């Protein structure tokens, strides 16, 4: 009579199936979280755009436009202060809010001399620390799906003046969207 101690192939197979189910659930859960954050990021943009338009309707001015040229002043944070002074956006003073992915959120403008991602005469909201696949997903759903054209564009960094095509692998970068 053989009295060996060990696991049978059936027991090992059951354990492997259980591990596979657990790993599958974790991967799917991660995808769901990223999808929810992507949707929340676009809602953040919509909330900022609504606040921006409401500010203009109330005051007749562009938020963050101290020199009254119709463009958000670059290099200042008065954009957030103006919106918050009218109780249109939550937060403290002129502090730049963080986006759902942990990067900054900037109100700025692109002009002929301060070209941002190929935009040349637009008021923008830019989100930093956004993965390229998130920007591509939003761009595909709400614009033209091309990182270098349309109202939604991608660049490797927020200070990059040229928009970039979406890379094959997801990499962190910046997304700018037209506010008008």
Q: Classify burial at 116, counting beta carbons within 10 Å of its beta carbon; exposed 0-12, middle 13-18, buried 19 or more.
A: buried
pTM: 0.83
97 found inside a domain: yes
What 3-state DSSP class applies to 24?
helix
Q: Residue 151: which domain range?
A: 9-178
88 found inside a domain: yes
Residues 85, 51: Cα–Cα separation, whole Å = 11
Task: Read off the pLDDT of residues 95-115 as tens digits, 9 standing for 90 and up.
Answer: 999 999 999 999 999 876 678
126 found inside a domain: yes
The domain that holds 81 is classified in CATH as 3.30.1690
Task: Read off the pLDDT of residues 115-151 as tens digits, 9 standing for 90 and up.
Answer: 889 898 899 999 999 999 999 999 999 999 999 999 9
Domain count of the fold of the chain = 1
DSSP string, 81-145: HHHHHTT-S-SSTTPPPB-TTSSBEEEEEE-SSS-BTTB-SEEEEEEEEEEHHHHHHHHHHHS-S
């Amino acid at each position: 009579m053989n009295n060996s101690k060990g696991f049978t192939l059936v027991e090992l197979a059951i354990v492997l199936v259980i591990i596979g189910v657990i790993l599958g659930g974790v991967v799917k859960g991660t995808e769901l979280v990223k999808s929810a954050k992507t949707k929340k990021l676009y809602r953040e943009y919509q909330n900022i755009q609504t606040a921006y338009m409401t500010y203009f309707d109330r005051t007749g001015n562009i938020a963050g436009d101290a020199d009254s040229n119709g463009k958000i002043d670059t290099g200042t944070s008065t954009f957030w202060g103006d919106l918050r002074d009218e109780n249109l956006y939550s937060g403290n003073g002129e502090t730049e809010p963080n986006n759902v992915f942990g990067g900054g959120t900037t109100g700025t403008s692109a002009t002929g001399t301060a070209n941002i991602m190929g935009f040349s005469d637009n008021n923008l909201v830019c989100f930093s620390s956004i993965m390229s696949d998130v920007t591509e997903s939003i761009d595909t759903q709400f614009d033209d799906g091309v990182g270098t054209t349309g109202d939604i564009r991608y660049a490797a960094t927020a200070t990059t003046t040229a928009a970039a095509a979406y890379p094959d692998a997801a990499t962190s970068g910046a997304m700018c969207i037209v506010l008008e």
